[in-house]
Structure 1
Amino acid sequence: MSNSTERPAFSFFRNLRPNKARQFAVIGLGRFGRAVCETLHQSGYEVLGTDVNESRVADILAAGISAHAVVLDSTNPLALKEAGIFEFDTVIVAIGNYLQESIITTLNLKEAGVAYVIAKASSDVHAKLLQKVGADRVVLPEYEAGCNLAQTLTKPGILDRFDLDPEHSIVELKVPESFYGKTILELRLRSDYGLNVLAIGQSQSFDINPKPDRRLCQEDVLVVIGNKSDLDRLPL
């Protein structure tokens, strides 16, 4: 009988996230931007929230989800400069529902030398335009949410994932029942699945680069890296 007990991810990927010294600016405080701003703030990062809408700026300040927030028109390079936006390590352009403003803002940021710009897109065409003007990463929240929901429904053994590019991921997953009692060498994960084991976790700690004779048990969590199509072949 398979184990149905839910266990939380061991947060292996916390070491892959930016360090606490990194500063973020979020442009656009609608539902998406507000959620990004709140999550970063709660995680202890310094966040500056901006929006052209004064009430949205007032709302996030009142809610205490950002230490700093200003009203500005992000299509105006001078306004961005005066607010210090160009000095931030990472800027998230969260005004995806306004195509022209989103593209102009992204272009302003990249032309000013902002190192890493993440932009929200509302369509595939919008995403391509953002990439053309230099966005370092483009997100389609609705599409990604749908993919994550499908992944949760069809692959409940996956606890967390870190996408390296469109084809490769690092995945944290429950050990499949068919793997219980077997060693990494016996499972032939590299030869049969094209995957490499980075770590095995248990009790909130990880064994990094585990030895081939490490035997897996029901309580273990695997962290593997590989092609997404190969990851999909795991018996989860």
Structure 2
Amino acid sequence: MNLTTLNLFSGSRKDSKQFAVIGLGRFGRAVCSALHDLGYEVLGIDKDAKRVDDILNDRLVSHALQLDSVDPTALKEAGIYEFDTVIIAIGSFLQESIITTLNVKQGGVKHVIAKASSSIHGTLLTKIGADRVIYPEQEAGYTLARSLTTPQILDRFDLDPDHSIVEIIIPQQFHGKTLGELQLRNRYGVNAIALIHQDKFEINLHPDSLLEQGKILVVIGANQDISKLPIHN
């Protein structure tokens, strides 16, 4: 259950079947690969011919084009403005990132996700119309910090800044007890939504559902309540 991938595209239109990714560096390639694996048609774009050839040879996209995204005419001729969702994966070149985002929004793209390398960069992207700004390096740092301080959390999907769905390794304190006995909602303020064991999901949970070490519990709740669970070092 890849909650991280869900988090990246949680703001995208649910009926989108085609995505364009502009910028095929490490982050852009990762986005293309994730979308392609999920069965979406992906158009990759970069001004570097080698990056375009590499991503085509690695079969991480449906199509790829070499073009300069700061040229609005080139974007229009390539049909970029017809896409519902475009990801601007240019982070290192501030001017190129901003102009590309502005071009895409002015071209009529409904949903634009833009990568930022700093808070100032992110503020500028928001002001020129980016619908969502992401900070991959910062988010990776948060993920690492969480994995070090709460290793029992296997995966996390942030619903908003204050609420999440998390997968946790069932702690020793919960072993051998039922959901009814634990009263997770009353004691911790979270709700159990699934149990996972050997890649099999049990979704229709009952008060007599038994928790055992080796299983994974999926819960939903406020982050401050999730932090109350016995999942820290």
Structure 2 counterpart of 1:4: none
1:64 equivalent in alignment to 2:44: no
1: CA distance, partners of 2:87 / 2:224? 30
Aligned-partner residue type, residue 162 of structure 1 = F
Give the C-alpha shift of residue 209 in structure 1: 4.4
Aligned-partner residue type, residue 53 of structure 1 = D
Bigger drift between 145-154 and 36-45 goes to 36-45
2: CA distance, partners of 1:190 / 1:134? 40
2: CA distance, partners of 1:57 / 1:24? 16
Structure 1: segments with no counterpart, 5+ residues: 1-9
Over the aligned positions, Cα root-mean-square deviation in angstroms equals: 2.5
Cα 1:13–1:102 shift into 2, 3 Å: closer
Aligned length: 227
**Aligned ranges 1:35-74 → 2 under 5 Å:** 35-74=30-69
Structure 2 counterpart of 1:178: 173
**Aligned ranges 1:14-163 → 2 under 5 Å:** 22-163=17-158
1: CA distance, partners of 2:15 / 2:75? 23
Give the C-alpha shift of residue 104 in structure 1: 2.2
- Quick check: 1:20–1:44 contact (8 Å CA) kept in 2? no
Give the C-alpha shift of residue 166 in structure 1: 1.5
- Quick check: 2:19–2:42 contact (8 Å CA) kept in 1? yes
Give the C-alpha shift of residue 77 in structure 1: 2.5
- Quick check: 2:5–2:34 contact (8 Å CA) kept in 1? no
1:214 equivalent in alignment to 2:214: no
Note the alpha carbon deviations across 1:125-183, whole angstroms, 9 max, x for none.
11122222222221111111111111112211112111111221111111111011222
- Quick check: 1:26–1:33 contact (8 Å CA) kept in 2? yes
- Quick check: 1:197–1:209 contact (8 Å CA) kept in 2? no
2: CA distance, partners of 1:83 / 1:128? 28
- Quick check: 1:172–1:222 contact (8 Å CA) kept in 2? yes
Bigger drift between 16-25 and 113-122 goes to 16-25
1: CA distance, partners of 2:189 / 2:204? 16
Give the C-alpha shift of residue 82 in structure 1: 1.5
Structure 2 counterpart of 1:234: 229
1:196 equivalent in alignment to 2:191: yes
Note the alpha carbon deviations across 1:88-115, whole angstroms, 9 max, x for none.
2321101111112212222222333323
Cα 1:219–1:20 shift into 2, 3 Å: farther
2: CA distance, partners of 1:149 / 1:15? 18
TM-score (norm 2): 0.86
Percent identity of paired positions between Structure 1 and Structure 2: 58
Residue 185 of structure 1 aligns to a residue in which SS? helix
Structure 1 counterpart of 2:162: 167
Note the alpha carbon deviations across 1:55-102, whole angstroms, 9 max, x for none.
322232233332311112222222222112122232110111111221
TM-score (norm 1): 0.85
- Quick check: 1:20–1:45 contact (8 Å CA) kept in 2? no
Residue 105 of structure 2 aligns to a residue in which SS? helix
2: CA distance, partners of 1:13 / 1:210? 24
2: CA distance, partners of 1:105 / 1:120? 11
Runs of 4+ in 1 over 6 A off after TM superposition: 12-21
